[in-house]
């Protein structure tokens, strides 16, 4: 059986790992990057608290020596379902089963100026661009004599009150307190405002009321200005415009406000649901298809009684769906009944700053905050990294940052513009 997986994130990689050494199965994983990366820690790369290699690992290195697993660098262009093949930007692949595990990408809700001018926070490339942009703006602020321009360079607006927005706002507040005044004495007492804005009435809306309140208080104590019930409607001429008429002038709008799945040529239009997510049955098979599946953020299913409106787009759903689909492929080979997917919610968490975090556990229903929640967050994220090398590098950098209240990774590295995509 030839299985082609499009996408090597949480869902795709866990599916491939679970099929390792499975008799009669050959897996080809296709990804436009040659590495897997850990999205929950992207913001720490963006703020130069971790290096990219701490949260990423080459697919070919991971697949080395695994006889029935193969990696293909490429990007999907079209599905030809009638011929059981996919057309990539560099060739074709035939399949017996095709699995979409392409995750989600940034959604700008149709606002072209925001798409053009804001800094997204979804990929490792986004994180590196953001790091370079923020560091270059600090250098510009250090030499300008125009106080109005300096204020725009130092002001940061983070759009999106989910975990990513909360975590990066808290990180900026910590850096402002412990780093900027030491390394940029030219800035003196210049104001550097950090705004966290969201259209919802609370931060971390999927989490408990206790977590929402604790997060709001912790961020405001760090000096972050939280603006709720406030939707961004435009970003033009270095000015963020809000639905209520408010404006904030800034060179730094960080966009963490929404995601959307991708559409693929060759799939029926009827297969797409809310947010362009592919609708599947309880076994993650696409509606109106016989051998095409979707797992993770790119899919939505309504068969799980505990989640009648679809599962949340979080890492645990992707991981569990990848594992469950692998289990069903093995059961199918053995001609045994398949097992429908049921999501087991293991809880939610968000880090706010040093020794500041919130954790919600569903069963039993518990809420933690402060240092204990922070330690839980560190432990869970550390063990979730793909290799021991990633774990060691990340732990080392975290310890340096914790005890020194600093790190040495703030370098502006510009790739050669002459380099072309392979």
CATH number reported for the structural domain that contains residue 353 in this entry: 3.50.50.100
Mutual orientation of helices 388-404 and 370-384 as an angle, nearest 10°?
A: 150
With a cut of 80, say whether residue 43 has pLDDT above it. yes
Between CA 142 and CA 34 the distance in angstroms is 38
Looking at the structure, tell me whether residues 310 and 328 fall in a common domain: yes
Tens-digit pLDDT profile for residues 139-193: 999 999 999 999 999 999 999 999 999 999 999 998 888 888 788 888 876 678 9
422 pLDDT band, cuts 50/70/90, is very low
Which token pair is 139? Answer: 């250098």
Tens-digit pLDDT profile for residues 306-326: 999 999 999 999 999 999 999
Question: How many domains does one find in the chain?
Answer: 2
Tens-digit pLDDT profile for residues 31-41: 999 999 999 99
Tens-digit pLDDT profile for residues 234-248: 999 999 999 999 999
Q: Is residue 411 part of a domain?
A: no
Looking at the structure, tell me whether residues 198 and 229 fall in a common domain: yes
Domain membership of residue 83 as a residue range: 2-32+74-104+261-333
Looking at the structure, tell me whether residues 219 and 126 fall in a common domain: yes
Half-sphere exposure of 57 (CA within 13 A, CB side): 19
Q: Is residue 56 part of a domain?
A: no
Farthest CA pair distance, the chain? 74
Q: What is the CATH number of the domain that holds 325?
A: 3.50.50.60
Phi-psi sector, 48: left (phi>0), alpha (psi -120 to 50), beta: left
Between CA 95 and CA 74 the distance in angstroms is 16
Q: Is residue 38 part of a domain?
A: no
Residues whose CB is less than 8 angstroms from the CB of residue 271 and which lie 6 or more positions away in sequence, other chains included: 278, 279, 286, 287, 288, 289
Taking only Cα atoms into account, the Rg of the chain, rounded to an integer number of angstroms, comes to: 22
Looking at the structure, tell me whether residues 303 and 175 fall in a common domain: no
Looking at the structure, tell me whether residues 271 and 325 fall in a common domain: yes
Please give the pLDDT value at position 403: 66
Q: Is residue 44 part of a domain?
A: no
Q: Is residue 359 part of a domain?
A: yes
Phi-psi sector, 16: left (phi>0), alpha (psi -120 to 50), beta: alpha
Average pLDDT, the chain: 92
Looking at the structure, tell me whether residues 254 and 265 fall in a common domain: no
Phi-psi sector, 90: left (phi>0), alpha (psi -120 to 50), beta: alpha
Looking at the structure, tell me whether residues 123 and 225 fall in a common domain: yes
Please give the pLDDT value at position 185: 87
More confident residue, 216 or 387: 216
Between CA 4 and CA 16 the distance in angstroms is 10
Looking at the structure, tell me whether residues 18 and 155 fall in a common domain: no
Mutual orientation of helices 147-154 and 124-143 as an angle, nearest 10°?
A: 160
Contact 300, 286 (CB under 8 A): no
Looking at the structure, tell me whether residues 318 and 352 fall in a common domain: no
């Amino acid at each position: 059986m030839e299985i082609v997986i499009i996408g090597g994130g949480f869902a795709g990689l866990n599916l491939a790992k679970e099929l390792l050494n499975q008799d009669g199965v050959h897996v080809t994983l296709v990804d436009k990057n040659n590495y897997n990366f850990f999205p929950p820690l992207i913001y720490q790369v963006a703020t130069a608290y971790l290096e990219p290699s701490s949260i990423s690992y080459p697919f070919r290195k991971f697949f080395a020596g695994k006889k029935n697993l193969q990696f293909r660098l490429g990007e999907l262009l079209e599905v030809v379902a009638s011929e059981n093949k996919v057309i990539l930007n560099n060739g074709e692949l035939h399949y017996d089963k095709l699995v979409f595990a392409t995750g989600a990408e940034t959604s700008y809700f149709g606002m072209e100026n925001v798409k053009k001018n804001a800094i997204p926070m979804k990929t490792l490339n986004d994180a590196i661009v953001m790091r370079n942009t923020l560091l270059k703006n600090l250098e510009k602020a250090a030499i300008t004599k125009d106080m109005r321009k300096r204020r725009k360079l130092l002001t940061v607006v983070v759009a999106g009150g989910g975990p990513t927005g909360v975590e990066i706002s808290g990180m900026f507040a910590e850096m402002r307190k412990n780093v900027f005044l030491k390394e940029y004495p030219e800035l003196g007492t210049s104001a550097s405002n950090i705004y966290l804005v969201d259209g919802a009435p609370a931060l971390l809306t999927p989490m408990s009321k206790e977590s929402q309140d604790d997060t709001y208080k912790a961020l405001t104590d760090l000096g972050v200005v939280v603006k709720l019930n406030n939707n961004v409607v435009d970003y033009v001429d270095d000015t963020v415009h809000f639905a209520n008429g408010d404006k904030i002038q800034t060179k730094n709008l960080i966009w963490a406000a929404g995601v959307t799945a991708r559409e693929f040529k060759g799939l029926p239009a009827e297969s797409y649901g809310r947010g362009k997510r592919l609708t599947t049955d309880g076994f993650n098979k696409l509606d109106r298809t016989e051998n095409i599946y979707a797992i993770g953020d790119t899919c939505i299913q309504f068969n799980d009684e505990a989640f009648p409106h679809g599962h949340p787009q979080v890492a645990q759903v992707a991981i569990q769906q990848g594992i469950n689909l692998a289990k069903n492929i093995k059961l199918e080979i053995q001609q045994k009944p398949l097992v429908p997917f049921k999501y087991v919610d293991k809880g939610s968490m968000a880090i706010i700053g040093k020794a500041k975090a919130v954790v919600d556990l569903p069963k039993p229903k518990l809420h933690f905050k402060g240092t204990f929640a922070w330690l839980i967050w560190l432990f869970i994220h550390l063990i979730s990294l793909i290799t021991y090398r990633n774990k060691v590098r990340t732990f080392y950098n975290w310890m340096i940052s914790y005890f020194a209240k600093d790190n040495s990774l703030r370098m502006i590295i510009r790739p050669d513009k002459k380099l072309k995509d392979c």
